[in-house]
Every structure is written in C-alpha cells, then in structure tokens.
Structure 1
Amino acid sequence: MSDGAVQAADLRRALDAAAEAGRTLDVWWRDDDLQRPGPDLEPLLALADATGWMPGLAVVPEGMDADGLAARLEKTGAELLVHGLAHRNHAGPGEKKSEFPSTRTMGDMCRDAADGLHRLKAAFDRNCLAGFVPPWNRIAPGLAAGLPACGFDVLSTFGPRRAAEPVPGLKCVNTHIDVIDWRGTRRFIGIGAARAAIVRHLAAVRSGVADAEEPCGLLTHHLIMVEEDWHALGILASELAAHEAVRLCAPSDCFFS
C-alpha cells in the first residue's frame, strides 16, 4: 500500500471518528495574494468550478487589476477578502514580516486597512466581504481591536483561534492547513501531508486544543502552485466531500452563520 493510500485511510478513519462523535467538520478555503488575472489563477478557478467549492480570494488592493479581475470573476461566484493594502513589509530589522506590526502607529494602520476595504468594495461591490486577511497572517493586537471601526466584520489569519469574537463586532475565522512548505521547499506539501494535517486538526479539536466550532480553513497560494498541485487538491476535495462528517463551505457560510 502506498504512503498516499495509507494517509487516505487515516483521514477516513479520523472523519469516521468525528461522525461517530456527532461532529461535523466544516471546511472552507482561502487563497492569498491575488492582484490580477492570469494563467496561475486558472487552475484554481477550474478546481472551484469542478467541485462547486469557491474559495475566499484575498486580494491585495494596491496595484490590483480591478477591471481584469472583475471581468474574469464575474460569473464565478467568487467572494473577495481584503489582503491588507499593499502587502508591504513594515516590520523592523530582525522582525518577522508584517504589514501591520505593533511598531506602526494605530492611525497609519487603521487608515491603510480602511483604504483597502474601500478600494475593494468600490471595485467589486457585493462580491467583497468585509473580511480582513493581514499579509503574512500577522497583525498588531491594537489593530485587530480596531478593525470594526475600520468597517470589518471578520478577521482571518492562521492557526486555531483564541476566541470566536476577539472584540465585539469582530468574528475570527482562521485557516489551519497551509499547503505550502514555507520553511523548506516553498512548494506544495503534497496530498499525503495535507491529509495528515487535517487528521492532526481533528485530533486538536477532539482534545480541546482547537475550537470545535471554528471551521477548518484550507490555505492555498495560487502564484506558486502548478497544475499537478491543483489536481492533488481536487482529489482531496473529493475525499472530503464524499464523507458524511464534512461540509465544504463558502467563506460567507462561515463568516455570517
């Protein structure tokens, strides 16, 4: 039996256990760093069309090709999220990259966050959700607390959330399964590793380490993924969709339920 088949069996067993415990795994999908349509976006949209599962597309407002994106996404049902403003690093020397580090003033950060939302809503109107995705998944606590005043309803970063509503008027819905090996190859981790990550997430939910009420978020990065990666994710999506314990959800299903 191949490694992939073993991991597929492990995933089925973990999902079977969730079903037996009366739990349902809601899974949503977020893709980051979109600015313009192009060949690298097409496999993502093909997968979404084939599965009926549309991701939340986190768009970098500054420098985006609004007309090109609007024309390409018009009939896809895509839901767009605000990916900061310019995806520009403002962290100091030796600090992890962040567009919104604590070293920036609250005024500057709130201005940029609100500007990003304004630009995306002006370009895409109803398809733009008031969801904030900070670049590099890092955000100063002060800005997180100020996001409702900037017009946002939802914050999405990476990892198990600490609270469903970190501040009044702001829901937290994170991603948990990043399919890119950022610390190694900087490429797709492979379907076996993605399955294993979901199994670990289910174990974290079972043990209480992760919030059982938070949807499980899959995170992709279309700019550095190739056709074979999307094919593998299509197999994974089919495996998940076929199980009684899984619901594949749109971002709005998770954000506003």
Structure 2
Amino acid sequence: MADWKALETELALWSESGKQATLWWRDDDAERPSAALEQLIALSDRFQVPLALATIPAGAEPELALRVQQANAVSVLQHGFSHISHAPASERKCELGDNRPLSDITAELNQGQIKLAGLFGDLFLPVLVPPWNRLSQQVIESLPELGFIGLSTLGPRSLEQGILTEVNVHADLINWKAGRCFAGEARALGQIITHLQQRRLGEVDSREPTGVMTHHLVHDEGVWAFLPKLFDLTRKAGARWCAAKEIFS
C-alpha cells in the first residue's frame, strides 16, 4: 500500500539522480462559479500550484471567466463541447466517438473553441480534454486543422509525439464506481508514485509531467484533505508543479 513516506522516497530518488520531478494539475467539468470552485482556487493560490481548468463550452458562463481572471494561476482548457454522451447505452460514455458524423463533432468543437476564446482571452489554451477521456482517432486527426495545439486524456502518453502536444493525467482522485467519492490515499498516491517511478526508470516518456486529475463538483472531505498534503509535501521535496502554458507550448 502506497503512503506518504513512499512518495517522499520516490521524490528523493529523483533528486539523487540530479533530476527534478514535475507534476501538473487538471480539474474537469467547470461551467460556473461555485463554493467548490472557490475552494479549488484558494488551494491553487495558497500553494502556488497552477491549475488547468477543463471547461465545458456549452455551459460556460461569463461569471466563470470573471472569476478565473481574478485568480493567480488558472488557465482554461476545452472539455469537449456539451459533455453529453452520444454512444449507445450498451457502450462506455463518449461524446467524441464514431457514433455520429465527424462534421458534426468538428463543428461543435470549433464553436466551443470560439466561445472559450471569447470568454477567457489569453487564459484559454486550445487544448482538448475529451469528456470521459475518450475520443476517436478520426477526431484526433482533425484537431490540428481546428486550431488545437494539444490533447489531454488519461494514462502515460505515447513516446511518439505528432503535431499535437499530448500531456495526460495519471492519477484520478475520484472512485467513480463506489459512489463518486475519494479514491483513498493509498490508491491516489500509488497512481502518482507509479508514474513518477516509470518516468525515472525510462519505462514511459520521462518528459511528460505526472498529471493529477480532480473534479471539484464531486469532491468530498477526503479529496479536500488530500490535496493540501500533496501540494505541501511535493513542494518541500523539490518537485515542481507546471503551468499548462508551459507544458503545452
């Protein structure tokens, strides 16, 4: 079972090898200001950890843009278009799959990109975060023509990087199958440590920062208690939290 000491040990191994461990933070499903979003931004400000807010274009409100503009280190990514699944009920949920014409999907993504750019200005990065971390290959291939510079899903990225910059998340703090609650320290830390270790040993792309994924609207007390401990320990251990503008440049 992974614990905080195991994370400290892994970060120490990074330092001993002369390298600095890097991480990044992505939070999904933003549409409007809320008490949970306030708590999220307060954590970002308190620990000086940049926050990439994956925002749903169809539901994004001007009030969200005003709040993000007041924050110290929040950037905005595009979370699909409407976060509505178009897959059959027998299949896993997917908004950007092969279940409808590609032209319909690209038209929505373009509409969403225009809306977010208008709302957030320079704080918006044309990086696609597909809902449920799923999308079809034909959608991926269409992204550069739509003006997207990056893609973020779940799991270690391929060593081969194309036109798009792919930077994924590797630790999901929510246990969706157990009632959308905190996954627990052991599981969350295990996912973080595993990716850090794989990077250090060269088993995956060592240049991809280790991504932590949160969903502020469903956080319970376990998640809110875990994040400050994670930010505090990693910073004291010499790790660096990267801003989205840096990793998707």
TM-score w.r.t. the length of structure 1 is 0.91
Corresponding residue for residue 52 of structure 1: 48
Matches within 5 A, 1:168-183: 168=163, 170-183=164-177
Compared CA separation, residues 24 and 104, structure 1 to 2 (3 A)? farther
- Does the aligned pair in 2 maintain the 1:85–1:113 contact within 8 Å? yes
Alpha carbon RMSD of aligned pairs, Å? 1.7
SS at match of 2:175: coil
User: Runs in 1 of length 4+ with deviation above 4 angstroms?
Assistant: none
Q: 1: CA distance between counterparts of 2:98 and 2:149?
A: 21
Indicate yes or no: 2:126 matched with 1:161.
Answer: no
Corresponding residue for residue 178 of structure 2: 184
Q: In the alignment, residue 72 of structure 1 is paired with which amino acid?
A: R
Corresponding residue for residue 70 of structure 2: 75
Correspondence for 1:117 among 110, 113, 134: 113
Corresponding residue for residue 35 of structure 1: 31
Compared CA separation, residues 219 and 164, structure 1 to 2 (3 A)? farther
| Sequence identity percentage | 35
SS at match of 1:74: helix
- Does the aligned pair in 2 maintain the 1:47–1:230 contact within 8 Å? no
Structure 2 portions without partners, runs of 5+? none
Matches within 5 A, 1:98-247: 98-163=94-159, 165=161, 167-168=162-163, 170-244=164-238, 246-247=239-240
Per-residue deviation, 1:235: 1.0
Compared CA separation, residues 125 and 21, structure 1 to 2 (3 A)? same
Q: 1: CA distance between counterparts of 2:106 and 2:114?
A: 12
Aligned length: 248
SS at match of 2:22: strand
Compared CA separation, residues 188 and 201, structure 1 to 2 (3 A)? same
CA deviations 1:23-60 (Å, max 9, x no partner) are 32210100000011011211101101101112100110
TM-score w.r.t. the length of structure 2 is 0.94
Per-residue deviation, 1:164: 5.2
Structure 1 portions without partners, runs of 5+? none
Q: 2: CA distance between counterparts of 1:102 and 1:63?
A: 23
Per-residue deviation, 1:227: 4.7
Corresponding residue for residue 251 of structure 1: 244
SS at match of 1:160: coil
